[in-house]
Chain A
């Protein structure tokens, strides 16, 4: 077996085994079969229990509201930004900041927003400068709100860069500038060219990322713990609580819930596919109604306002993290901290360093292994066909809570729970698809003749592969490595399940500290969490630059 085929098979094993066995390992307990804990009786009782769980309707409501908000916000914003700002002056800013925005860990972003919108947050403090009645915090339901609106908005803003990057790569398949010219010559305003001609072609290309966002938004746990409703929480968080209950029966209840969540997200995905068909189907009525520029000015205004709002939230979120991390005393309603200090940071320095070490080690190990596997697998003949690698993205389409519980049992039975191997494996499930997304395009567009020439010249295929192909692809490869690091750093549930509580990373620590409500400490951990991917991105950018600065073709 060639090395390429070997990595193809290994990757299949690494990515698919946890998901398939994990789902089975969740499905069986949900029907009462859970031999490790002494349950053998097949029964539907746990679904009944789930059906009667206190507050189920509110849980489902909060899940649906937050998830739908997230997907609508991210998708509508992506569509608006592309339609209005494509190749305009702000387009450059968007393009440059997409990758760092994507690398921004979910939890850190959620914490940053939490610092802004809580009743005693920065926005309330800002308003208190002008309204004296806000001298004690207002009774806003801005975090932990019953319907999970804040959660949905934050999720939407966080998924925005992902969808935008995916849309950008989908644009490569469609000749955008030509379509724009043609459309405009038919008298359509560019916004309407996008809406009526380009997006109907892009949306089908973006099916996979969009349903991945759906799967994620309806089953997120870490952000929901930070910002979501509490009495009762969203479905995914409730399932997690059942999974970690000291009463074993509750775990079976959790499995039943996880299966129901899986079905729910499945239904929603199918719903999106139907909606997409309806929107861009062959004779979609609004596509051919002839409207060419109605309200385009209004669209533009709206787009500008939302753009500034989005940027505002991102910038203030980062700023508030930094301020909290370096403050000592910042009591409401002070607009800025009354006392700055490094004391809190120093107090946690030992812990921070050891967590940084663990997090970085895990992230680098995972990314390097993932990168090697992806490089190998993309060379395999099997990977060349269209849709040949669809299976790779399966983990992104299944809610984490719906298979990680089963995966944990797989790890326990191999005695891998709480080991580095187990955690690295659990991260690889997510790191591999993202590395592949980041790399596949570059590898596909690489002119294979360079390698042919090099092999003919040197007579050494392996050497040529590394010295020519890999060296020429150094920038995309180090970028993919950085993507891998960012994905690994952001993993919360996989670390929790596979780590058996023994291994904590910056992310698990930051999420559990968010409950602690010492915002200074939370700020420090959020800052540390976001420093890791940013530094990695910096290196990924600088290293090839330094190595190749003499060669103009190698510049980014």
Chain B
């Protein structure tokens, strides 16, 4: 900025540190927000973005650092404190009461009252309609909030926030469930807020939106501030590189992964083979649109893209964990009608989810039980489980995957991240799958274990398994995959094969302008 602005920033966070057990979520991050400014906050998973938002809105107290609101030091003990200071968050979960009417939600605690102290219902409805008018919302305000779509609910939340004197509005992925028409309305409203001098912190994974709405940007990575400044100074490619931690000049020709780095070479993945997985036109409303993926035996297909681009959703849709609105899935040439988790598992699809703790490992059960879990139907007869058969299977995978544990009876929750991942892998391999869907298989595990898991993936593919590999680690993606599909905003942006599979190729595809 050329001339120093006369007013202090609306929000000034300096050197914010936030620690969680074992993790330094924010490492001396500074953040500044001025009146009438829309500021983009971006970063991939684990960048510290949501932690910073929670510090700004009073959910977390920082361990160190200073927070000032309009020049005055602020210490938010709770979200209510932050609201009193004029910082309002508009969450995905709206933060209103769905069963109450729109009007009663808008004016809860500030209802117009008659002389007797009773709520003046007519005035309540009139006032609510007035409040909503600037937001382009014309609805029957007497009806319960939940009877309206997400877009309307969000507008009501915004109207309430602004009418209780918000000076800073924090929007976390506000467009993720909106129709295009609603997105336009929202952007119009945001423009109006900025004109009133309200500042907006805008979090989104959609590049188009960032460049359309925001004036400045802050990029976080691994809990640290990577870049902050006017958005106009950056192009898309540069922004994506900053988010992914890949400086274009530094992209190495050869990485440190244990993948051999050959793409589409050798005898695997020939066009003549029947694909082990053929997904056509997968569509899940608001998540992915018309995504097609083909994986041949022995082939590793990478799925690239930013957080929120639909990678995880694609894997879940293939595995039947997310109901499809359109599209077909065929495994080894056999089409599945209405894939469900049970039918895809039977057909030979195995999904290793991204969130091991929440969706995979049962921490209190032993390694042995965790491995046997998915294969139980195959290991039992007439509902009775054969211990001897389980022991055999578990023994094979413990050795084969080199799972390090004191015994097979050790609770899986005590294992390191890498060994937990191997237990999960063993669980699914025990079902004898034809295709493996790996969602971030090496996230959060140490370097040594990472290399082992990577080597294992290549080995399994070498034995004829088809692998769909989702990874935010560009190097892993590029060196591990024979082909790479790049997703953007829930659709396939590019398919790279052979010599095109480079970090630069993936970055360029991610950063390319979305077509209207």
Q: Do A and B bind each other?
A: no
Residues in chain A within 8 A of chain B (CB atoms)? none
Residues in chain B within 8 A of chain A (CB atoms)? none
